[in-house]
Amino acid sequence: MTGSNTTPDEATPERPADPFKPLGNETRLEILRVLYDHLQSSSREATLSYSTLRSEVGIEDKGNFNYHLRQLDGLFVEHGSETEATASTDSGSGSGTGTGIDTNTETTADTDSSTSTESPTNTASSPDGYRLTFAGFEIAKVIDVDAWRSHEPCGPVVLDDPRADPVDAGPNETGDEPTAQDPLTATYEDSVVEIRRGDDLLYAHAVRPTGAAARGMAVDELLDTASTLWRHTVEQFLENICPYCHAPLERTLEYTPDRRWEHTFSANCNECGSLGGAHVGAVALTHPEAIAFCWEHGLDLTSTRVWTLPFVDDDAVTVLSDEPRRLQLTIEFESARLELIVNDDARIVETERVCRDEP
């Protein structure tokens, strides 16, 4: 987002026309893979020396290798001292800023050559080695076949229902008696954990197959993982942070009478578009008053699976006004209840504790 007081010099730089063009070559992808494998296998060092990198990529022609390395410079690969930890940045000129290859020195890191004339940038000149930038790491992770390997679907598994009396209050097709509510089920398919009630999707979050395999594809552990990830994503929504690009986002309360949940909020990022959303009850997950109130009554909001929380449901919502839209969310226990007022920005603006009268 660019504010109205932003000067031209402060404006966001233009994006490259084709940011993936440098990746359209097998040698360059292999450079990323080698640096990624080194990062995965090293407990301390993220960098790899020029000579080792060229050897592991398997390119004998130094000029050819330098050319391909130069195409990755700055965006996907950068210089980094072999004595640094991964998160450190160099204090020298150009280090840690994505400037990459040193264009000033002429001595090479290889013992078989004291000068390099194959390319004007003297790619081989750094004694400090090379490492992936954050963008390079993300790309290498995505193209890592093992990270997104196919997997057998798990489920559906019927879950314990958080409702004490899971009965649909509406009449059935014959208009006689209420029908039993559709069960709550969980599946893991196409790298996504989904929680549904009947055909209605309530919760969904990606869980990498690598992590799922490390947990033995056990549905119970996958549910804990997905719940934690979903909670963290919602927290970013509530802090106006896009979980993908980290740009500011906008939230809006929505009324969706044609869906299982009528009272929801959505998040939208100018960079990434629609990010989905959640039931409005999710706004209480990170609010200090809600966390404290639930803790005092034996409920830990930081670890409880989100789909078991009774206030993440329309039964806990009261409409206070439509224009502007304001809702009351109620968290209720036997001895007390907490009333939370939510504005049209999906933000809690008022709270009130109400104690029940002693009999």
3-state SS, one letter per residue, for 29-94: HHHHHHHHHHHHHCCCCCCECHHHHHHHHCCCCHHHHHHHHHHHECCCEEECCCCCCCCCCCCCCC
Task: Give the pLDDT band of residue 105 (cuts 50, 70, 90).
Answer: very low
Which pLDDT score is estimated for 44?
A: 58
Distance, CA of 348 to CA of 249 (rounded, Å): 17
List the single range of 47-61, 115-129, 175-189, 240-254 with lowest mean pLDDT: 115-129
Which pLDDT score is estimated for 18?
A: 61
Per-residue pLDDT reduced to its tens digit, 154-177:
889 999 876 645 444 444 444 444
Distance, CA of 278 to CA of 254 (rounded, Å): 10
Helix (H) or strand (E) holding 220: helix 219-238
Which pLDDT score is estimated for 145?
A: 62
Q: Per the structure block, which two tokens stand in for 17?
A: 């026309």
Res. 328: pLDDT tops 50: yes
Compute the average pLDDT of residues 175-186: 66
Task: Give the pLDDT band of residue 81 (cuts 50, 70, 90).
Answer: low
Distance, CA of 115 to CA of 121 (rounded, Å): 12
Q: What are phi and psi of 73, to 5 degrees?
A: -60, 135
Of 13 and 102, the one with more pLDDT: 13
Distance, CA of 154 to CA of 158 (rounded, Å): 12
Task: Give the pLDDT band of residue 94 (cuts 50, 70, 90).
Answer: very low
Distance, CA of 114 to CA of 231 (rounded, Å): 55
Res. 51: pLDDT tops 80: yes
Q: Per the structure block, which two tokens stand in for 162?
A: 């958080």
Do residues 154 and 140 make contact, with C-beta atoms less than 8 angstroms apart? no
Res. 235: pLDDT tops 90: yes
Q: Which long-range contacts (CB under 8 A, 24 or more apart) does 346-353 make?
A: 346/238, 346/251, 346/252, 346/253, 346/265, 346/280, 346/283, 347/238, 347/251, 347/283, 348/283, 348/284, 348/287, 348/289, 348/290, 351/287, 351/289, 351/290, 353/293
Place of tokens 């000067």: 7
Of 294 and 221, the one with more pLDDT: 294
> For residue 336, how far is the Cα from the chain centroid?
36
Res. 95: pLDDT tops 80: no
Which pLDDT score is estimated for 281?
A: 96
Q: Per the structure block, which two tokens stand in for 71?
A: 């195409």
Closest by CA position to 277, among listed 240, 298, 252: 252
Which pLDDT score is estimated for 151?
A: 74
Res. 118: pLDDT tops 80: no
Q: What are phi and psi of 273, to 5 degrees?
A: 85, -150
Task: Give the pLDDT band of residue 269 (cuts 50, 70, 90).
Answer: very high
In percent, the amount of the chain with pLDDT more than 90 equals 40
Coil, strand or helix at 11: coil
Closest by CA position to 182, among listed 192, 193, 172: 172
Which pLDDT score is estimated for 5?
A: 42
List the single range of 44-48, 270-274, 310-314 with lowest mean pLDDT: 44-48
Compute the average pLDDT of residues 23-32: 87
Do residues 242 and 272 make contact, with C-beta atoms less than 8 angstroms apart? yes
Compute the average pLDDT of residues 298-319: 93
Q: Per the structure block, which two tokens stand in for 356?
A: 């029940």
Res. 352: pLDDT tops 70: yes
Which pLDDT score is estimated for 41?
A: 78
Of 148 and 192, the one with more pLDDT: 192
Place of tokens 């040193």: 102
Helix (H) or strand (E) holding 267: strand 263-269
Which pLDDT score is estimated for 172?
A: 41
Coil, strand or helix at 245: coil
Q: What residue type is assigned to position 327 of the chain? A: L
Compute the average pLDDT of residues 117-141: 65
